[in-house]
């Protein structure tokens, strides 16, 4: 989740400003860039337990800041993230370590960034007795085993989550994801990319499934992270119907956000509780506790970060349906979406594949994928068959981009693990289940050594 906030203090005097805020993200195709965010679980090398904030995560942040000259991001005097040098490091509520990476023109640069991040945690982690594993759901820990990070927005969420869903704490504490952030050129381009990416999120969830264990045992799921999201807070997550309705665009997405209940108002370095209240009331000057105040564009930008749909629109598009995974899979996720989004022919081919999927069928797919994965029936075949077509389209899109590395290879090389899966190889979750029932003899603890970054 984001570090604190955008500082645009322009007062909101018209709802049209909200649509204009999104519209300002439009870029020409030559300006299109790739951003990748990914999370990992820290664990103590001695017992694999989640590290506490004091004597663990805080020390990690302070050591990295000193080593790399990054500036700490403070919340009531405590470091809760780092920023500088085209990189941002933040903390999820249970101390999950998140890299919000730089903005790059090619996936080759993304690969270098991931390598640098892994070198970072190899350099610093052992000094603190910590390792890091990039998995979709924590394989052993209970909720009670986590130390909540001292971030003001998390305290508000912690109080609010049990009121609106049964799995909010699991989402906050026990999940990790990887997402790609990609650009759009116009409102029409945004709409097509949003519809394609929403329609393909169940496939992405199945391809990247990497969370088959809960508290030390298999529980019949392939992605406990995706299962968790089915009952977190349905007013702010899932698949907004509006995306697939006639007339969808920047204004309709802004209107959707106005119906997402608020969490907070950020003022003078503090998160003020506004949970469950209406941004519409805030705009009308009648928000309880903030009567007479006029919200700013920065307030709306902050509010946009508190909606958690499977694909999120900011001034770019975030694809959010994948479990975190091994380094090759961390790179395969942005590779998939870059190939689909950044070549017109590929985007149109992907749109043709999914344009006839009905909204209710898409919701049913989303509900079934955490358990059944790529084996779900789809069309005349399975979701794996759809994946084979989609990966081929993405590969052609990356070929057309023709972004070469120093050895002359283009970005298609980063789709290799997905190509293997659609050709019949196990997903990460299936691989771990094979290890559990085979070489591990039922001992999930061995995953920490094998999944360590």
User: Would residue 419 count as lying in a domain?
Assistant: yes
pLDDT in tens, 199-233: 999 999 999 999 999 999 999 999 999 999 999 99
Average pLDDT over every residue of 289-302: 95
pLDDT score of 2 = 54
pLDDT score of 404 = 98
User: Would residue 1 count as lying in a domain?
Assistant: no
Q: What value does the mean pLDDT of the chain take?
A: 96
pLDDT above 90 for 335: yes
User: Would residue 105 count as lying in a domain?
Assistant: yes
State the Cα torsion 156-159-165-170 to the nearest 10°.
80
Percent of the chain with pLDDT over 70: 99
Band (pLDDT 50/70/90 cuts) for residue 3 is low
Band (pLDDT 50/70/90 cuts) for residue 7 is confident
User: Would residue 282 count as lying in a domain?
Assistant: yes
Domain that holds residue 158: 16-451
Average pLDDT over every residue of 42-48: 98
Coil/strand/helix, residue 83: strand
pLDDT in tens, 86-127: 889 999 999 999 999 899 999 999 999 999 999 999 999 999
pLDDT above 80 for 6: no
Average pLDDT over every residue of 251-273: 96
Least-confidence region, from 78-87, 153-162, 439-448: 78-87
Average pLDDT over every residue of 51-63: 98
Q: Answer for the pair 363, 239: CB distance below 8 angstroms, yes or no.
A: yes
pLDDT above 70 for 5: no
Reference 167, options 225, 109, 214, 88; nearest CA is 225
Band (pLDDT 50/70/90 cuts) for residue 1 is low
Q: How far does the chain reach from its first CA to its final CA, in angstroms?
A: 21
Provide the strand spans (E) within 314-432.
317-323, 377-378, 381-382
**Angle, vertex CA 430, rays to CA 139 and CA 101, nearest 5:** 65
pLDDT score of 202 = 98
pTM of the model: 0.96
User: Would residue 3 count as lying in a domain?
Assistant: no
- CA–CA separation, 43 and 238 (whole Å): 30
How many domains, the chain?
A: 1
User: Would residue 6 count as lying in a domain?
Assistant: no
pLDDT above 70 for 301: yes
Helices (H), ranges, 218-355: 224-228, 250-258, 279-283, 297-304, 327-341, 344-354
pLDDT above 60 for 32: yes
pLDDT score of 167 = 98
Only one residue has tokens 């017992």, namely 47
pLDDT score of 85 = 85
Task: Please report the DSSP string for 39-67 in residue order.
Answer: EEEEEETTT-PPPPIIIIIHHHHHHHHHH
User: Would residue 80 count as lying in a domain?
Assistant: yes
pLDDT in tens, 352-386: 999 999 999 999 999 999 999 999 999 899 999 99
CATH of the domain at 413: 3.30.590.20
Average pLDDT over every residue of 236-242: 97
Sign of the CA dihedral with 172 first, then 35, 227, and 424 last: negative
β-bridge partners, 97: 40, 91
Q: How many CB atoms lie within 10 A of CB 143?
A: 13
User: Would residue 316 count as lying in a domain?
Assistant: yes
Quick one: angle between helices 107-124 and 58-68, nearest 10? 120
What letters, b where the CB count within 10 A reaches 16 and e where it falls short, cover 273-300? bbbebbbebbbeeebeebeeeebbbbbb
């Amino acid at each position: 989740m984001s570090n604190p906030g955008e500082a645009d203090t322009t007062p909101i005097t018209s709802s049209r400003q909200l649509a204009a805020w999104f519209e300002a993200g439009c870029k020409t195709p030559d300006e299109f860039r790739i951003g990748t965010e990914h999370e990992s679980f820290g664990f103590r090398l001695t017992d694999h337990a989640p590290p506490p904030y004091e004597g663990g995560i805080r020390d990690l942040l302070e050591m990295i800041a000193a080593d790399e000259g990054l500036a700490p991001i403070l919340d009531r005097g405590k470091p809760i993230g780092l920023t500088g040098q085209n990189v941002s490091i933040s903390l999820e509520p249970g101390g999950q370590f998140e890299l919000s990476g730089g903005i790059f023109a090619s996936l080759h640069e993304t690969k270098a960034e991931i390598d640098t991040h892994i070198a970072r945690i190899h350099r610093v982690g052992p000094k603190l007795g910590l390792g890091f594993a990039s998995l979709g759901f924590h394989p052993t820990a209970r909720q009670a085993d986590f130390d909540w990070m001292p971030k003001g927005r998390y305290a508000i969420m912690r109080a609010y989550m049990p009121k609106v869903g049964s799995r909010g704490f699991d989402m906050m504490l026990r999940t990790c994801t990887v997402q790609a952030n990609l650009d759009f050129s116009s409102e029409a381009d945004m709409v097509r990319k949003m519809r394609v990416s929403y329609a393909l999120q169940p496939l992405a969830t199945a391809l990247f499934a990497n969370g088959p264990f809960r508290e030390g045992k298999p529980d019949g799921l392939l992605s406990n992270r995706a299962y968790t999201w089915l009952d977190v807070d349905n007013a702010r997550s899932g698949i907004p119907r509006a995306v697939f309705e006639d007339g969808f665009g920047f204004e309709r997405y802004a209107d959707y956000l106005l119906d997402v209940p608020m969490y907070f108002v950020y003022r003078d370095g503090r998160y003020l509780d506004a949970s469950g209240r209406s941004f519409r009331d805030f705009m009308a000057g009648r928000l309880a506790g903030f009567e007479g105040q006029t919200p700013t564009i920065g307030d709306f930008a902050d509010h946009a970060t508190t909606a958690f749909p499977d694909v999120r629109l900011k001034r770019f598009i975030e694809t959010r349906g994948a479990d975190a995974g091994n380094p090759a899979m961390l790179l395969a996720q942005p590779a998939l979406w870059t190939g689909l989004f950044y070549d017109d022919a590929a985007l149109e081919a992907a749109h043709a594949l999914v344009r006839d999927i009905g909204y209710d069928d898409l919701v049913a797919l989303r509900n079934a994928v955490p358990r059944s994965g790529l084996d779900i029936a789809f069309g005349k075949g399975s979701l794996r068959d759809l994946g084979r077509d989609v990966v081929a389209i993405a590969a052609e899109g990356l070929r057309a981009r023709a972004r070469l590395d120093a050895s002359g290879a283009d970005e298609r090389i980063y789709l290799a693990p997905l190509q293997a899966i659609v050709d019949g190889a196990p997903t990460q979750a299936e691989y771990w289940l094979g290890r559990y029932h085979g070489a591990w003899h039922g001992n999930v603890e061995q995953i920490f050594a094998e999944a360590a970054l």
